[in-house]
Structure 1
Amino acid sequence: MDSESVGEPMPIFYVGHHETTRAQPVSDTLVRHAQDCGYDMLTSPITNSHFHSRVLGLLSAYNQAIETASIPLPAQPLPLIPALENVDSPLHPSDTISQLVTLTSTWIDLASPDPVIAYLSRQVFSLEIAYAAFCGVMNVAVRGPRLSHGSAGISQYARAIKEALSIGSYVNIHIWMPMDGTKTNEDEHIGDLSRFVRPEYANSEAPNARLSPYSAWDAWNAIRSVCRYHSRLSVALDLPRKFPSITLQSRWYAEPIRLINLSESAFLVNNRGSFVLSKPHQIFIFRCLRLKSTPWLLLSDVGPLPSVNDPDMVMSYPSGYLSPSLAADAPSSGSMPPSPTPAEAAQVSKNSKAKSKNDPTPHLSYLRYLQRNQPPKNVFERFGGGYQDYLQSPLQPLTDNLESITYEVFEKDPVKYDWYERAIAQALKDWVVEGRSTSSGGQEVVVAVVGAGRGPLVTRALRASESTGIPIRAYAIEKNPNAYVLLQRHNLEDWQGQVTVVKTDMRAWRGPTLPEGDFGKVDILVSELLGSFADNELSPECLDGVQHVLNPMDGISIPASYTAHLTPISTPRIYADLYGRSLGSDTAAFDIPWVVMLHQLDYLSTLPNQPDASELMNGTKINQLKVDTPLTPNVQLVWEFSHPLSPTILAQASLRRGGSAIGGGGGFTGGDGANEHNIRFSKLTFPIQDQGACHGLAGYFETVLYAGSEGSVELSTNPVTMEEKSKDMISWFPILFPLKTPIQLPPNSELEVSMWRQTDDRKVWYEWMVEAFVNINGYRTRIAISELHSSKSNGCLM
């Protein structure tokens, strides 16, 4: 790991042990034994085989009664399951109940087309949820719907889950879904109720040929939509041996994954006969375990707990704890060998068991090895761990006086101020090389930092002067009375009185005071007024207002220009947060552009030539793996601002201010129209390659601080260009423009975004809407349209 990550806590793997058919009930003693073996939790069915037999007997008796009864079938009452009895369940309230993930019966079929089977299944499900809740169970895993039933089955299943969330008021329900929708895991066992579907309903199932890799995600999306993104509903994701496409992985990554299931078939066997996971498995797990809510890992059917069901497998460590370092479990540095045939796998399995007789839990040991050897955290993870997907209202620096801690957060950026210093130094050198005359009347270039805050840009301007040998006359302009006090202290203690500190709104500053009492001009105007969308903290309005002090012939603005950018995203976690807020006192939650460190998201429109899962990081060591998404989002330009502005535009704005006759009629959006030169509109079209749900638009910006003889100095939060222009910059989080109702997008569709920047001369706000289109028989057909969202009530005051 790199030196910067030393001391940084890495994610802990919470690993559970699951057996499809556990030989004995899960008791307190068994839970403690599992902990001694290194597991953190166990799974347990809520009901047992006795209850299963009772339900099958009830169904059999009902079918016999139907066959022999003279009563017409519609008049025959459906079978009722009596209340649970002590012999029906291994569970009871206990001290270890919180360390269990309980399972509802896998033999029921909530989505069955046969009303009798569906009715019995719902009764079983309700009884189990209610009893688990009574026992104090916190986590219940439910097998996902049978995808072969089609959409009709999904709606039935979703309705049952929604009701279960009401039955168990404190129970977290995890829907067990396969990552790849073509691998449905719907093998029917002898006792499955689906085997007893009556002939007239047996042919109503949707053919399996219609299943696609996205079928499981689509079913999950329908379930959680019916349940209104309930906070206690999440996914238990079953990872396959061969990973699906990167785009499908990314789609699942954005979902609320609570459990990641790793069956024995998901593991490979390396050249040394040790169980390992492929690189795509490792990358996906590492990514998920760096989320704010880290999922748990389940090892399924990897063998019984040592010394419990297998007398030949006895723990060789008196303490019950495994060896802290089992190097044999590490994957080789070369590429993975090809997957063995079933016969070869069986033989290797026998050899592995012989080799690892001193390690009774080889799969668990490998996961602990991964835990100890995780890739190092990047700059964003180290800085923003507590900010992931945390919604923050945008700053209003013109109306609010920021606290010192807010400035301090900005100043921790390792890149931004270095780039500003480079830009100022280049501007100074170009000023001298090009022989421009200074506003000071001498050799000193007049530099003013407007919106100086606590003074970091002032310090950088002085450093640029020192490094280039070009003298400057420095001014620091700040309206915050509290920051003004600190700037005066810096001038005395750090800047040796080289700076003139002025307390005023930059728009009211008349310029440097000259000896004869007049006001001079500024040669280089430096500001850091950009927000997450570049213009959302009113940088255009502020710089327009202070431009009158800038040297009209040669004046330089740093930044010189900035652009806003958008891309559609799926963010179920954030949408659920906003939906909950909207039901409370924050009714305008979906009409606010939120500043947020987007982390658990999926880009809906991506650029082509994405790597396949099987091609990722082949032969790369664990501590060299990159766990950030390999997808490249399609981020498009929305609009641009540049400075200094043309004097003719400012002159016209001045004519309109005050409503004079020569200034024309009223403004298009209210007021006099003095700020209408800063309104913007843009319409963007994004191709959507795979089906998904759009929850909002992610906004970024790029800025050219200075473009001169030595090239451009640029900053970027755009994920496509950030690595090239300003790697590791952390000052600005993205901005999110949310949607009140998610837009469901089919594959090969288009999302059209309309975006406005509006003003009424008193404040600035945004409006946005999206539309979805598909091509049907050669016609571009609109299939969905959002509301017109507006942040006017929460606009940024001028």
Structure 2
Amino acid sequence: MSSSLNAESSSFATVDDIPPSLYIGHHATDRSGPVTTRLLAQAQNAGYDLLTSPITTPHFHSRVLQLVGDHFQNAASTQTPVENLPTPLITPLSPADSHLTPSDANSAIIGVVSPWIDLSSRDPLIAHVSKHILGMEVAYAAFCGISNLIIHGPVSSEGTMQYARAVLEALGMGPYVQIHVLLPMTGELEVDVEGTPLAELARDEYSANASDDDGEDVGDEGEPELYGSWEVWDAMRGLCSYHGRLSIVKMVLRTRPIASLPTDQFPPQPQRLACPFQSASVLPLPLPAPPLPTVGTPKRLQSNAYAGNTQRHGKHSRANSRRSILRIKLNNSIRSREANRPLGIPPPPPTNPALPSPDRTLRPRLPGLPAIPPAALTDNLESITYEVFEKDPVKYEWYERAIALALEDLEPQVPGKGQDGKAVVTVAVVGAGWGPLVSRALEASRKTGVQVKVWAVEKNTNAYVLLQRRNMEDPAWNGKVSVVKSDMRSWKGPTAGSPSTGGGEGETTRKVDILVSELLGSFADNELSPECLDGVQHVLHPTHGVSIPQSYSAHLTPLASPRIHADLLSRASNDLNMSVQEKWELPYVVMLHQYDFLSTSPPSSTRTTPQGNAAEDSDLQPNIHQTWSFTHPLPPSILSQARQRSGGQIDAGGFQGGNGSNEHNARCTPPGGLTFPIPHRGTVHGLVGYFETVLYASPSATTNVVGSGKSQSDDWKQTRKVELSTNPLTMSSKSPDMISWFPIFFPFKTPLYVPDNGSLEVRMWRGTDDRGVWYEWCGEVFEQRVGGGGKGKEMSGRRGRKVGGSGLLSSRGNMCLM
């Protein structure tokens, strides 16, 4: 242990015995005006070293409330779901929104992030607005030279990881900014907010007092946990990888006996601030504060916080009741010189030529070897990959069914007529490849008797050559297909030009009635299907246009697979063209061998027992949760806002970088995460992912129960709905024997041990900065409380004791470029 020589005793004293540097600051929750140099001088004369200052003004608060309120009112008046409206955008700060300006005096100011935001909100819209406000305030405070910021802790412990993820992003917005999270020693965080907090605007279905399926109050957790705040802080610092510029502020209420506080848990924490707060029922704290002892631990500082004559300056009773002493224990240097690691964007790792498109190769070819998914927008696929695509008869048969249903539904709606007086439906296959979907569209037209005009759009120059040859030589095509060499996002749409070339420049375009694509990856959106289809939606008819697929969703479950973990351990980093850490922060497509679904439950009457279940009990099936979903086509208003943000017409940036034009495609799991009860002890090596998609559902689609021995796939003409699935719970009923996709695997660098009757809470994010898309994921292990759990549902009420966690893993360094 480091030590120093004590001259008087001629002995060595440990560093812990050396008094820390202590500064006294003053915090007033009702301070709304600017902190001027005159005010700072008065504070210093009164014995204070520092003052706190809100970053934004009540004017900004009112502006945000008005913006969110108008958004909800617009949704109600138009009877439009909030999710179908573009998110409200907060324009940059104006002089009326903040009193702060760059100044040398700002070194004596601690900024306070708006306490009325709710980063942990269950309502996605409130959480979205809150994190944008956090980003704006942190960035502006850093610009003004303020190096210390206080942010109030999460309103709900359920949303701790969602809160921590936003704070982690904010830490990257100022290379010298220290963020101090205000948490109570025990109980709930008391926040004194002038006006309406955003939490009160949350929709009823996301209310903290919402009831679960059994009618129990989810938000009512009874008496607060003694170590609840420590658990929140421990989860936060773990997700933030023990960031050096993140610390805790402990708030102590005078109504709580100091001796009863769990101070034994907090002294080792990176604490630089201590805030003794008082409730409204306590006598006002005097101003200025009594002198502080020069030596002592944080516990003694809090215990001595209220010594002195409480009757002095009694005339300030109302104002002082809203004040607190802010004690700051700083390191030798207030400003950390740790600079942010630049966010480099290395090129996507090359795919092994011997294993083209590994998530779609046939099962015998890939015996469980983890492989990196292809980058659909930046890579051109090889010939062998297209060949493998066509070897799955199920997928293309299902696509043909979907196109046939869409043709039957659209024929009466298409205004244009052919030479024989019948409607001609325009079908565009984007990302046509070798053209299997083109052939299926022509076959669907032949079987239904609906005339079509087919366009094949392909960016791969080599595949474009083959498409032209096939158009000339294939009897089914017979020169009827218009082949276009173009990225689908830059294609202007059908023209009146030659079928073999797709028309020339300046020709009038018309809209597409059916837009067909096969852009889905093993996790639904991991090959950037949302970004591709957003970019080509401008060619789709705005009234009756149909996208095939119409929607898709991603699904997860924890997996034990020592074989995959061992393979990643043994794989050299230079083989993947990345660092040792980065190989654990990528999703891989795998064919599963020697694995176990750890979270299982008895099958329900509505779920089919999956084939090949690795669980020991054949009567059990895995708990597989949906993470998020996408729907096409998007509401035009959302795409219009995205185009305006991309073109700089709207002055509002994205929270994770860029101009925010792709922010509508960011996704995350619910604030409470996905909870997987694990009945028997085991080791989780990662998360395995699947997807489900609705290729087409007719407006007259039904949900009739399928008869015994008959799957939904056999009843598609009656239900008028066609679906694909790799989810083991639904694959046999929706698309049996399909082999086009392997599961995706999100590894944990350190496997997580789960005890008997434990649970794993999983959180995942789909991030974007307009340049690329990446995934972030983490897991936490809990000892499940008696009576908790269920068949994979999210647990209500309190969780058990946390016993482990993975930390945050992120593929941002190897994002999939757009």
TM-score between both structures, scaled by the size of structure 1: 0.49
Q: Which has the larger radius of gyration?
A: 1
Structure ranking higher in helix proportion = 1
TM-score between both structures, scaled by the size of structure 2: 0.47
